[in-house]
Amino acid sequence: GGGGGGGGGGGGWAISPLLFVPPVRARARFVAGCLAAADGAATATGLQRWLRTAFAESVCAVAFPGAFGAVRAWHGQLSAAGSEELEEAARRVEAALAASLPAGSYRVEARLKSAASLFEKVALRGKRADDLLGLRVVLDGYREYGEAAGGLPRRAGDHSRCLAVRQVAGRLWGEVAFSDYIASPKANGYCSLHSTYALPSGTPLELQVRTGAMHRHAESGPAAHSAYKAGAAADAAAGGGGLGGGGWLGGGFLPRGAAPLARLPALFGEAAAESGASAAPP
């Protein structure tokens, strides 16, 4: 009869996943673990990177549909214009470095941060995300370039060369933030310069500068980002991290006409209600 309509004729129970929604902390642990597993090496092919991104975004959408939906909408609002700005920024850096460094002694990489990566950083770790647009300059190892640097010891020479690239970028845009992880490496050995510049539109651009050895360590060594995300998963499981504490997307440097997201707990009630976090901005 019609009383068994929920079973349709399939002979079994159709149970909606929405009948049981795990606590926010458990969902965060699940998402962080999946993102860590999906974070591939730099040698991944284009198809592999696309599949990893699709998987990561699907996981975020299932675990936090409202929160991730808002982040993805914000990302979609800016990604088209951001891609154009990123290409122009990469061209300017390439031209500036070509005028001051030997050909073949460096490479410039550009990346537009994915919606899943933004969500992981802002929602799970409570960090400010000013790095939708990112450039990385990787310099040759000291052996290939050391003599031109004056024969300085490896560490000092590499640090000086990275700082010189920062100075080149500083002549293109105004620097609004700087961290020197070469002079003061992270606990996992991560070494790089991180600078944030305000592009003409006001959009922030993150520039990382490192040597080839530093880059290999950051991509596949103990400082690999996948290990970092795995640490975030463990932190979420232990009740630490920034979950529910609120992060920011874009800060004060958004392109004209783009709407910034409010502090996350105020916007994402699904996390704020269960974490008890304050919705007031800092």
> CA nearest 209: which of 89, 107, 113?
107
Closest by CA to 41, choosing from 52, 30, 56, is 52
> CA 135 to CA 97: how far, in whole Å?
13
Q: Which position has the token pair 């529910």? A: 244
Highest mean pLDDT among 14-23, 101-110, 153-162: 101-110
C-alpha–C-alpha distance, residues 244 and 122, integer Å: 10
| pLDDT at residue 271 greater than cutoff 50 | no
**Which H or E element spans position 135?**
strand 133-139
Cα gap 101→7, rounded to integer Å: 69
Residue 183 carries which side chain, given as an amino acid letter? A
Half-sphere exposure of residue 67: CA atoms within 13 angstroms, side-chain side: 33
Write down the pLDDT at residue 21.
57
Q: What angle do CA 78, 80, 84 make, to 5 degrees?
A: 110
Rounded to whole angstroms, the Cα distance separating 129 from 264 reads 12
Please identify which residue in the block is written with the tokens 């709407």: 259
Is the model's pLDDT at 82 over the cut of 60?
yes
Residue pair 281/263 in contact (Cβ under 8 Å)? The answer is yes
Nearest to 90 by CA among 197, 181, 187, 235: 197
Round to whole Å and give the CA distance between 261 and 250: 8
DSSP string for 90-110: HHHHHHHHHTTS-TTSEEEEE
Mean pLDDT, rounded, for 199-209: 91
How many other CB atoms sit within 10 Å of the CB of residue 281?
Answer: 10
**What pLDDT digit, counting tens, does each position of 148-175 carry?**
333 333 455 899 999 999 999 999 999 9
Q: Among positive and negative, which fits the CA dihedral 116, 135, 137, 45?
A: positive
pLDDT of residue 207: 97
Q: Which backbone phi and psi does 168 adopt, to 5 degrees?
A: -60, -45
Report the chain's mean pLDDT, rounded to a whole number: 72
